[in-house]
Amino acid sequence: MKIDDIKLLYEYNYWAHKRILNTATKVSEVQYFAPTVEGYRSLHVTLVHALDAEWSWRLCFEERVSEPTEPATMWDYPEITETDLPSLAAVTGKFGEQELKMRAYLNRLTDADLNRLVRYMIPGGIVRERVLWHCLVHVMNHGTQHRSEAAYLLTSYGESPGELDMTVFMNEYFNLQREE
């Protein structure tokens, strides 16, 4: 894996996030905060969770890749909760902040950095060791899962975000690249 490949995946990640966030502005506040049919996650909680996961992983990467002797736990970092971000506007703003920080982080990486190890601890005190690029792909894929949940909720409210396929993004992205 090369850093340009990871950056392209994150271009897709942020393109898809923006489609979800822009569509979320079209639903009512009641819909935005309503629990799902299963009574589990609202659209708000789903978006905050996706953001918190990406935020926590980035902090882990920034602080722990260069010295993987001490495993990080995702709980070492302050959790972003729905109380911290009480509105869609707050969530959107924090997503924008996270995007800028992740892009800056990715811009500091080299191809060689992608093969460095990340050590982290999961519940039960189990230490995991992964290659950085595997973790970066995991974070992007985790966002895909929760965007699909958000897209389902939005569509059930009559506001589909449209196609979120990477191929749709690639058509738009490479057409934009040619125009510049």
Contact in structure between 10 and 102 (CB atoms under 8 Å): yes
Within the chain, which residues score under 50 in pLDDT? 66, 68
Each residue's pLDDT tens digit, 139-166 = 999 999 999 999 999 999 999 999 999 9
> Is 178 part of any domain?
no
CB atoms < 10 A from the CB of 48, how many?
25
Domain count, the chain: 1
Beta strands in the chain (DSSP E): 72-73, 117-122, 126-131
> Is 179 part of any domain?
no
> Is 176 part of any domain?
no
- Write the CATH number for 88: 1.20.120.450
> Is 173 part of any domain?
no
Domain that holds residue 28: 3-168
User: In sequence order, what DSSP letters do the residues of 95-138 get, joined into one string?
Assistant: HHHHHHHHHHHHHH--TGGGGSEEEEEETTTEEEEEEHHHHHHH
Residue 60: predicted pLDDT: 85
> Is 114 part of any domain?
yes
Each residue's pLDDT tens digit, 7-26 = 999 999 999 999 999 999 99
pTM, full prediction: 0.89
Beta strands 72-73 and 126-131, pairing class: unpaired
DSSP code of 40?
Answer: S
> Is 112 part of any domain?
yes
> Is 134 part of any domain?
yes
